[in-house]
Amino acid sequence: MTSSPDPLRFDPLDRDLILSGLETRWLGRNLRLYNQVSSTNDIARSLAQRGERGIVILAETQSKGRGRLSRSWESPRGGIWMSLILQPYIPLDLACRINMAVCVAACRAISCLLDLDTGIKWPNDLIIKGRKVGGILMEICADGQRLDYAIVGLGINSNIDPSAFPEDWMATSLSHELGSEISRSALIQRTLLEIERAYEVMGSDEIYDEWRRRSVTIGRMVRIASNKGELVGEVEDLADDGAILLRTSGKLVRVLAGDCVHLRRMVGL
Over residues 124-158, the pLDDT tens digits come to 999 999 999 999 999 999 887 788 899 999 999 99
Cis status, amide bond into 123, omega within 30 of 0: yes
The per-residue pLDDT for 185 is: 97
User: What stretch(es) of the chain map to CATH 2.30.30.100?
Assistant: 221-262
Does the pLDDT value for residue 5 go beyond 50? no
Entry pTM: 0.90
- Do 155 and 134 form a contact (C-beta atoms < 8 A)? yes
What average pLDDT does the segment 19-41 reach? 95
- Return the bridge partners of 155, or none: 81, 135
CATH code 2.30.30.100 for 221-262: yes
**What pLDDT sits at residue 168?**
81
Q: Order across the sheet with 119-121: list the strands.
A: 31-37, 56-62, 80-86, 146-156, 131-143, 125-128, 119-121
Pick the range with the lowest mean pLDDT from 60-69, 222-231, 256-265.
60-69
pLDDT, tens only, 81-117? 999 999 888 888 889 999 999 999 999 999 999 999 9
pLDDT at 4: 42
pLDDT surpassing 70 at residue 72: no
Residue-wise pLDDT tens digits, 250-259: 999 999 988 8
What pLDDT is stored for residue 49 in this prediction? Answer: 87
In contact, 40 and 66? CB cutoff 8 Å: no
Residue 133 contacts residue 174 (beta carbons within 8 Å): yes
Class of domain 15-213: alpha beta
Q: In the prediction, which pLDDT does 89 show?
A: 85
Q: Is 87 within 8 Å of 148 (Cβ atoms)?
A: yes
Q: What is the mean pLDDT of residues 154-171?
A: 90
Q: Which tens digit of pLDDT belongs to each residue from 171-224?
A: 999 999 999 999 999 999 999 999 999 999 998 999 999 999 999 999 999 999
Cis check for the bond before 5: say yes or no (omega within 30 of 0). no
